[in-house]
Amino acid sequence: MFEATASAPVNIATLKYWGKRDVNLNLPTNSSISVTLAQDDLRATTTARASSEFAKDELYLNDTLEPLGKRTLQVLAELRALRAEIEQKDPSAPKIADLKLQIVSVNNFPTAAGLASSAAGFAALVKSISLLYKLPHNDSELSVLARQGSGSACRSMFGGYVAWEMGSETNGLDSRAVQIADVNHWPNMKALILVVCAEKKDVSSTSGMQITVETSGLFTERVNTLVPELFVKMKKAILDRDFGSFAKYTMVDSNQFHAVCLDSYPPIFYMNDVSKSAVRAIHELNDQYKEPIAAYTFDAGPNCVVYYLEENEEAVLSHLGQAVSNVNGFPVEKMGSTPASTSTPKWA
């Protein structure tokens, strides 16, 4: 029996990926940027085993046997092909490429956190199997495989601040994640998750983004003009540790992403009244301070992720606590604040 374990963190995009130019390879219509959430608190950990005693490939997610989806099978096939190449070149390498795999993945973040687990999950799967197969590839090269499982997963191959460069090649080999800055670059950056609703979203990201690509007129302007500009500006704001600019671009992008969802036909609504009250509360707070001290961003769901600097924590928490918990008695649950920066992934 051969075995390897690896883990990968959750990431939250501050410049969103929304739209595929190639559905099979998961190639995006635009580049994106994310911040990785605290590695120790919010991670998927995966153990991969290969053995001649296994009759078929199996995947367990949080102790439940899951069917192997098309994308998982595609990622496994690619990983096996890379291992087979090694075995062909080096006859002394153990023959494990053809052995069946048992993959056991556990998320240490509560389902009630309302966070999508696919990004961390696919990243941990690729890391653990690449370790098992002793693949010589670096994290950026491996992110090309994670991307095929779930686009946003490629960014979970790194900690800190990460860009997914959309690439231009049709084979997708240059559509991969690169680290913009590591954990230590901006140690006082914090993230707070406001859990508005922990249930699964109505329209999955995968299908929602294709409805937008096919029907939204605003979408073309977003991917051709607005996102390329924001990509350059946001990267610079991160490298300069310019929170005001980082916050503004993050909010502008979140708003625009939800605007193209609304511009889709039929329209897609991810934010609800509680989400909107969080937006208003943060703008109110930023107005009081005459500069952005907090930034909101919403993925394909109503939950709000707020970025702020540690020195402003009290102001942000108390203002949001008052403003958001009053809205229609919705159960807004604060998960606590976690450092957004991360340490280097530990490989078991």
User: Which residues of this chain interact with ligand DP6, rule CB under 6 A?
Assistant: 13, 16-18, 26, 32, 116, 118, 150-152, 205-206, 299-300
Instruction: Report, in Å, the least distance between residue 70 CB and ligand DP6.
Output: 12
Task: Take residue 15 and report the two structure tokens written for it.
Answer: 């410049």
The residue with its CB nearest to ligand DP6 is 151
Instruction: Report, in Å, the least distance between residue 116 CB and ligand DP6.
Output: 6
CA atoms within a 13 Å half-sphere pointing along the CA-CB vector of 111:
6
* Of 207, 192, 209, residue with least CA distance to 113: 192
Instruction: Report, in Å, the least distance between residue 299 CB and ligand DP6.
Output: 4
Angstrom distance (rounded) from CA 209 to CA 145: 21
Instruction: Report, in Å, the least distance between residue 289 CB and ligand DP6.
Output: 28
Instruction: Report, in Å, the least distance between residue 255 CB and ligand DP6.
Output: 13
Q: Which is nearer to ligand DP6, 227 or 309 (CB)?
A: 227
Q: CA torsion sign, 194 to 200 to 204 to 208?
A: negative
Burial class (CB in 10 A: 0-12, 13-18, 19+), 285: buried
The per-residue DSSP string of 211-234 comes to HHHHH-SHHHHIIIIIHHHHHHHH
Q: Which is nearer to ligand DP6, 195 or 293 (CB)?
A: 195
Instruction: Report, in Å, the least distance between residue 263 CB and ligand DP6.
Output: 15
Q: Which is nearer to ligand DP6, 97 or 146 (CB)?
A: 146
Q: What angle do CA 251, 152, 321 make, to 5 degrees?
A: 40
Instruction: Report, in Å, the least distance between residue 213 CB and ligand DP6.
Output: 12
SS3 per-residue string spanning 245-284: HHHHHHHHHHHHHHHHHHCCCCCCCCCCHHHHHHHHHHHH
Q: Which is nearer to ligand DP6, 133 or 164 (CB)?
A: 164
Angstrom distance (rounded) from CA 23 to CA 27: 7
Q: Which is nearer to ligand DP6, 150 or 275 (CB)?
A: 150
Q: What angle do CA 37, 41, 46 make, to 5 degrees?
A: 95
3-state secondary structure of 25: coil
Instruction: Report, in Å, the least distance between residue 206 CB and ligand DP6.
Output: 3
Q: Which residues are CB-neighbours of 86 under 8 A, at least 6 positions away?
A: 93, 133, 134, 135
Q: Which is nearer to ligand DP6, 20 or 276 (CB)?
A: 20
Q: Which is nearer to ligand DP6, 5 or 150 (CB)?
A: 150
- DSSP H or E stretch at residue 320: helix 313-325
Q: Which is nearer to ligand DP6, 16 or 83 (CB)?
A: 16
Instruction: Report, in Å, the least distance between residue 19 CB and ligand DP6.
Output: 10
Q: Which phi and psi angles does 238 have, rounded to 5°? A: -65, -50
Q: Which is nearer to ligand DP6, 148 or 286 (CB)?
A: 148
Q: Which amino acid, residue 154?
A: C
Q: How many CB atoms are closer than 10 A to CB 82? A: 18
Q: Which is nearer to ligand DP6, 151 or 292 (CB)?
A: 151
Instruction: Report, in Å, the least distance between residue 13 CB and ligand DP6.
Output: 3
Residue whose token pair is 């958001």 = 324
